Chains A and B, each alone.
Chain A
């Protein structure tokens, strides 16, 4: 497996995302740059310039027309992918930690960081498209979500039914989303919360049908969780704190990444950092293999939507695109 190395950032990568078809890869980093790449060959399609702070999060809609980014400059921006034009800039009083489109692209949720004693908040916007792919946005709801400490991750469940929020203390909360009849306003209501990790939840990614999701945590485990009951279905244990976890499409595998934080790295070399991406069998919970390459912790992982490969972004500022070898697809488990 020969990776394609993308050198488009000068600072740690914060999030990477494939579009729905898997032909484009969007990457954001602490260096304020938003990059779009051809996933096949690693050629750069272009950049989206305008943020004045670290970009924490990125989201792409299902038709690859709109791109949303959230940044530490207290703004979230909506871009037109085709020409890189910034369509909207949403301004807040705190850093934007996570942005995410709903499954039908109708809504955009924006999660803010804790700031100056103000607790984490989630804003849900309705995205209104005009014919040429531009958008207007309407703010709908704004609940406070910090009962369990700072919120770190959020994502939409199936049919826009819930927003799942992960917290710094290892709790996940399930908020029911109900838009009003005219869809001009709506509400987020806390239904359930459950402590599933012993430490900060660092990533939360959904399955293809959004009926279950995987969380990664600094407590060195990744959990597979039922979206309805928040029950833990499977636990994947590793020996290092995890920054990200993703489900592999088309196969019953999951992949996690992490490694010693920069502040904890000793002087004993890359071997100690545990900077490999680790693959587990989703159902049997045992480790299948590791892919090394990064020389810093892996901050974010994204799997190609057709299960042909995956990409990783690291603290080292590199993005590595991997396509699986043929024997990966040929391998069958005995059972």
Chain B
């Protein structure tokens, strides 16, 4: 009997289409795996009946000879930042506990239209703010990976899409949605040895995704290989008139365009990413990546992105500034938590509701954002950060004169243990140092597995492309995937 947990998106889609197995069999097998993996805490809500219902619809369509969608019969996990009609949507916050939207986000609706089914809503860092999943109100997700030191230290699955990364690595689902504001798809993908792509800003509609930082938020797929990412991105992307920043462009046939022959492509290696004291394993993996791409026919060039060191500070001004305003709507008036102490007035209600509803990291970022937008500080922080953002975008523009893609590590280190970094927010923020520049510039960027470190933990290689050139990014990812021989998996300890 087929072990459906070992099949990816393409394999399930093709198997269902060819009649090798029924979509319902896949859904039921994965429902069982989800239900048995509570120890990972990857799901906030499980929706086995929805996975089955979607699968039944696909099976019925196939039986009736109707054309099947791009994701027909593929059960997936949905990051709990996407509003789903009739299913609790929390952003992993107490603030939205019990909130059941009457509407479906554009991206999730696109996936259902393509024939995917929902296994459940995946845990994440609260309001997508975090790099370890430790800020979730519903408890942190645990990575299925363990260090090879024989210890049982629980490791971070990365964040904010940590439920997504953990569930895919643990083979609870072949793919899941993620959102990336400053690395929230790429960093968790790197931490658990899977692939994930953040497309060009505007490719995927933001409508119905609980907003963190509007000018940076972008949805994307996470899966176990590059092809699966390409398939799922095709299903997710597309112009949406309900999102004013949505790009009015046709969705390319990325899967059909996959080609790992990189002849004629120039790969830029940014010297500023080679930080002093760079992790030895990371440096080695990066060198391997360079060798693989060369082997695939690409030319390697040295490039400079001179403003890289200002990216992280700029990001931690812009993202909190937008968040402080985006999260103002959680006020206890119309939906979500309301804390109305006896005899309280409106202001008291705001204070009590927001103090009780938001976790510490969310409150910290609201405070930072409020501060940097305040009269007297606005120019010194926000305006300055926007200038830096423009310079970072220009760095990339200049780089494209001499290269077509950029290769860098996804993160400065492998996954850390839960609790190791949360005492010091700054060291946590440093995790995003390689991910943030592409976010600020709105460029497509992908993480693919690059190898294991000395502790036996996965590391990710990041490919950054020109705006709208997801195809080149996916192709380089495929070239790496074909050469890295990355087959490592987490042991099934749960």
Does A associate with B in a complex?
no
| Chain A interfacial positions (CB closer than 8 Å to B) | none
| Chain B interfacial positions (CB closer than 8 Å to A) | none
